[in-house]
Amino acid sequence: MYKRISAVLFPVVSILLIGSLMWGNQMKEERNTVQIKAENQYQRAFHDLSFHMDRIHGEIGNTLAVNSTSQGMHRKGLMNVWRLSSEAQSELNQLPLAMMPFSKTEEFLTRIANFAYKAGVRDMTKEPLSESEVNTLKTLYANCGEITKDLSKVQNTVLTKNLSWLDVDTTTAIKNVDQSGNEIIDGLHGVNKKIETYPELDWGPSVSSMYEQRSVKMLSGVPVTENDVRRKALKFADVGENASCQVTENGKGTDWESYTAKVQSPEGNQLSMDFTRKGGLLTSFTKDRQVGAKKVSVNDAMNKAGEFLANKGYRNMKAVNADSYDNLVNFTFVREQDGVLVYPEKMMVRSALDNGEVIGFQANEFIYEHKDNRDIPSAKLSLQEARKVLNKDFQETYNRKALIKNDRAEDTLCYEIGGNINGAQYRIYINADTGLEENVEVIRDTDADIG
């Protein structure tokens, strides 16, 4: 009996054993293939990073080498620096450095790219590189030279010692493991620490504004108390002085000190409002209620929203965008001054389409940008002159003057011209001084109702 069982089981076990060995060998080969592919990708990304850093160094040198009046070469060199910096950032993100403190290197490349782009896209025949920008380029040239040398040292070490990037990936992925001793990690740490020692450069207002963090310190006015906020909240909610109002202080001792006020309305809905501590300015408002089925048009809701803002003290606000979904619509309102739409002074308003009631808004950008009498320059070009740059197939539907922020974060007076081309609707902003296109936006269907 046992012989018969053995005769049956032995070949079965043998087949299973051979099969498991073959499966294990196949899995090992597949794992090795994946590891080789990953190693090759890491190696390629790092060698490309080192190569592009060297190219960035060279392009900055080329830009500095030509005459100060060589605007064409300056523009070409800066756009090359921007392109190469963007590629270097991409390659840096492909390396297994997620668990390594490499933020300074990433930030350095990002700022170089932004600086080169902002300087390179402008009309250099009218606004060539300034002395400050040339000095910044000289410093960047020296810094990039040092970084290139350090990366080359790491590259040579990797090649001569046949080091593996997969070891870096494994080491950085394990918590509480001493990463020192890995020559790749040590070399890249050295690069990051060197960048940390570089003094802050004058990147110019256009680049610096991209990293500027708004805080209450930028606002005018005196600090308010919880009682001040309570009075402001009850007045805004228009519910009477005896209504329930709970005030909470936020971010005490930081640059973002604020208050949150929660008011109970007579209908039983809760109204939530956020105020800045400095100046007691309202930054957001939300009414918590159930929204019913859509019964009101977007235009009717827009008109009610405009009346709401005017009643709350926000005068001369005009809706420029509408984005509706289901039974809600979000409007973008901007302030109008002397017939010019001031886009930096904008706020987002949310309305319910069951009755057109405003149930929330965000006014952060408005309060930080608002000026009672903003300096709006006169247009040097007429509307007819500005129209000359339009595509001949562009069918204009409306036009108006608008003040926007250009790529350098500067107030720029433009002609905003809306119209149709290629089966879509667009807004084109044409500089009222130079006639250059500052920006182009696609108009969504709901925007078309209020354009």
DSSP string for residues in 157-223:
HHHHHT--HHHHHHHHHSTT---TT-HHHHHHHHHHHHHHHSPPP---HHHHTTSPPP-GGGS-S-B
Give me the half-sphere count of Cα atoms (radius 13 Å) on the Cβ side of residue 176.
Answer: 0
Helix pair 71-93, 2-65: axis angle to 10 deg: 160
pLDDT tens track for 356-378: 999 999 998 898 888 888 889 99
pLDDT > 80? residue 334: yes
pLDDT > 50? residue 304: yes
Q: pLDDT value at position 50? A: 86
pTM, rounded to two decimals = 0.66
Q: In 3D, which of 40, 47, 57 has the Cα closest to residue 151? A: 47
If phi > 0 it is left, if psi is from -120 to 50 it is alpha, else beta; for residue 35 that is: alpha
Q: pLDDT value at position 9? A: 58
Q: Are 45 and 53 in contact (CB under 8 A)?
A: no
Q: pLDDT value at position 347? A: 94
pLDDT > 90? residue 38: no
Q: What are phi and psi of 348, to 5 degrees?
A: -100, 130
Q: pLDDT value at position 272? A: 94
User: Rounded distance, CA 351 to CA 302, Å?
Assistant: 8
SS3 397: strand
What is the mean pLDDT of the segment spanning 9-17? 61
The pLDDT confidence band at residue 171, using thresholds 50, 70 and 90, is low
Q: Are 161 and 183 in contact (CB under 8 A)?
A: yes
What is the mean pLDDT of the segment spanning 63-80? 83
If phi > 0 it is left, if psi is from -120 to 50 it is alpha, else beta; for residue 104 that is: alpha
Indicate the DSSP class of residue 71.
H
User: Rounded distance, CA 331 to CA 29, Å?
Assistant: 58
Mean pLDDT of the chain: 82
pLDDT tens track for 217-228: 567 678 899 999
Q: pLDDT value at position 361? A: 92
Higher pLDDT, 65 or 67: 65
The pLDDT confidence band at residue 72, using thresholds 50, 70 and 90, is confident
The pLDDT confidence band at residue 176, using thresholds 50, 70 and 90, is very low
Higher pLDDT, 140 or 8: 140
Higher pLDDT, 44 or 446: 44
What is the mean pLDDT of the segment spanning 171-186? 60
What is the mean pLDDT of the segment spanning 7-34? 60
**CA-based torsion, 311, 313, 318, 324: positive or negative:** negative
How far are the Cα atoms of 95, 230, 331, 357 from residue 447, in angstroms, in the given order? 43, 37, 9, 19
Q: Amino acid identity, residue 282?
A: L
